[in-house]
Chain A
């Protein structure tokens, strides 16, 4: 049983009265009590320590930074806190220490949706598309906060992912895994983000599709949008990374350019498999 009396599971299985699909799970727990001085990186999660709710700390003094126009990648073994670090940057973790700054502005206390409004685009690992809506509607919803003409941005997304133009009237849920990920990235790009965050974009897609997705991600970065990405496929991710963070048990284990890390014997030995 959870502490919250309204969150017990009793009786929730009866679908004639309760609708389990698509229930919101995001809990906004932004902020620490200790604001810190800001730095120069475009986005920085600075010495973050924290965990979920009142649970134990998962991150320990962990720092993640993305420079303008660069691709930063978080890699590490299973359970190293990669996704947790990204959630912390996005305001979905209770930070007990540290700060998050975007373009010099402290956003530690902002809720996730406010961070979206500030220009952070986020593609979650799962549930990252509106399955029952068409591809075009998915993109439209991505641009929901914008009040200006979105057609130009949509054209750019279609130019980046040509397959989506062909499938734009099709329900996103009917697409293949790789195409869904393209929709997901496209949706996030529709906000015209100043920065894009991808949580394991290649999870569950075939190697060929994975290569294609990485190519597309590089293309996005070339348009000037810095990218922060969590990746399971460390080797390939580090190959395209300008900056890599190897996390182990919620701590920064190694930091450097992608090439440096690929060449680092310790990194290779410990988890790139030689």
Chain B
């Protein structure tokens, strides 16, 4: 029995990576859930919005690096993030102007917006591939580790090491700031409350003098910030590839639905639930079990429930289980 080492292994390979991934999914799901709550449709272009924002951040980072501007131990991308958010906000508002606003005037049913978002998805996907190509891009710089595995071992004298990458720490910190800011905005400010009111009851919001167009614009602005931040953090943590971002749509949708569509707290819970299940189910628990069991009882197999290639299956199964038992998601859905 060696509980300490078991915990360290678990932290290093499951809990820390899953927390970072969960934070990224949660930010993505928050964007999806906001659009669902206020514009009342599931935005299939969300993954590509994240890709677009991240692409701008990457290009800007490269520019800064070429100019010799860095943030020291922190990744330069953080400096480029505001630019990415601003341009993505412009893109989204432009899209709203060119595409969605027409359907609002037509009082179109939500499914029309879904189909329109498919078109937007194609275009954004094309734009990103056109500008930056289809390949992997890495853009993290600065200090790679907050604590490296070796330093941790030297410090504690344990057999197992624990590494915390800078990108993981930044992910959690930035995500936390973003979430707190969002909740403060939605629950404490007049504009935030008017967004919740609009989501709750569009007619009554209109009768209360809330301007729908303004609510929608602010929503896109927030979504741009959330999507760009989520995408940049994911890219720093792993790597940027347009197709991967497109595929993030599934775990992000799953997180938003599991949490209860339209409910921000649910989106965050859903993000972490999906991330922890994905990492947990596809992790080989051999070492952990080895440390926990008596000496020499180390299992022969990998103790891996599913190969990592089946991580989609995990998000999906969780989704199904939650929906079977709580049809509206963990938190009651469809409210902001």
Contact = CB atoms under 8 A, between A and B. Distances in A.
A124 interface: yes
A19 to B, nearest CB: 4
B158 interface: no
Contact of A132 (B109, B196, B257): B196
Contacts of A25: 202-203
Given A6-B112, A24-B203, A25-B203, A141 B210 contact: yes
Contacts of B193: 133, 137, 140-141
B106 interface: yes
15 contacts: A8-B109, A11-B114, A18-B109, A19-B110, A19-B261, A21-B262, A21-B335, A22-B40, A22-B200, A26-B206, A130-B205, A131-B200, A132-B199, A141-B208, A187-B204
B36 interface: yes
Nearest to B191: A144
Given A16-B42, A133-B197, A116 B110 contact: no
A168 to B, nearest CB: 14
A156 interface: no
Nearest to B202: A24
A7 B199 CA distance: 20
What DSSP secondary structure best describes chain B's contact surface?
Answer: helix
Interface of A: 4, 6-12, 14-27, 112-113, 116-117, 122, 124, 127-133, 137, 140-142, 144-145, 187, 191
Query: Could you say which of A6, A23, A131, A141 has the most chain B C-beta atoms within 10 Å of its C-beta?
Result: A141
B206 A113 contact: yes
B37 A19 contact: yes
A133 to B, nearest CB: 6
A141 B210 CA distance: 8
Interface residues on B, range: 35 or more
Contact of B110 (A20, A113, A131, A191): A20
Given A16-B257, A17-B41, A132-B336, A6 B204 contact: no
Nearest to B187: A137
A22 B109 contact: no
Given A127-B201, A130-B201, A19 B41 contact: yes
Nearest to A121: B207
Contacts of A117: 209
A132 B106 CA distance: 27
Contact of B108 (A7, A131, A132, A187): A7
A170 to B, nearest CB: 15
Contacts of B203: 24-26, 124, 127
